[in-house]
């Protein structure tokens, strides 16, 4: 299970205009994506500004972290391993 969660990246500081497709499109250049999900507020339907991207292999995750910075629609994205967030 630990290996699978290491393939999942937490992405913060997403612009409110970004949906699942835009998130997937941004990270697709790094490798095969199994899931890309922006988290939306249940009451308002607005983006909560963060999401998760899961990849099929560790080399794709490494490719993501090897890129110096990630900017999507003008916002500097903040990335973290989703497993590390669970461990805190």
The domain 2-87 is classified under which CATH number: 3.30.70.330, 3.40.190.10, 3.20.20.100, 1.20.120.530? 3.30.70.330
Cα distance between residue 13 and residue 62, in whole Å: 20
The pTM of this model reads 0.87
Q: SS in 3 state form for the chain? A: CHHHHCCEEEEECCCCCCCHHHHHHHHHHHCCEEEEEEEECCCCCCEEEEEEEEECCHHHHHHHHHCCCCEECCEECEEEEHHHHHHC
pLDDT of residue 88: 46
- The label of the residue with tokens 């490719």 reads 63
Binned at pLDDT 50, 70 and 90, residue 4 comes out as low
In the predicted structure, residue 87 carries a pLDDT above the cut 90: no
Per-residue tokens: 67? 């890129």
37-71 pLDDT, tens digit per residue, is: 999 999 999 999 999 999 999 999 999 999 999 99
In this predicted structure, what is the pLDDT of residue 1?
A: 34
């Amino acid at each position: 299970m630990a290996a699978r969660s290491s393939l999942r990246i937490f992405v913060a500081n997403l612009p409110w205009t970004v949906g699942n497709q835009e998130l997937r499109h941004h990270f697709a250049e790094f490798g095969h994506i199994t899931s890309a999900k922006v988290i939306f507020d249940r009451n308002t339907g607005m983006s909560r500004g963060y999401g998760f991207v899961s990849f099929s292999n560790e080399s794709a995750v490494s490719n993501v972290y090897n890129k110096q910075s990630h900017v999507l629609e003008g916002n500097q994205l903040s990335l973290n391993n989703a497993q590390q967030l669970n461990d805190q």
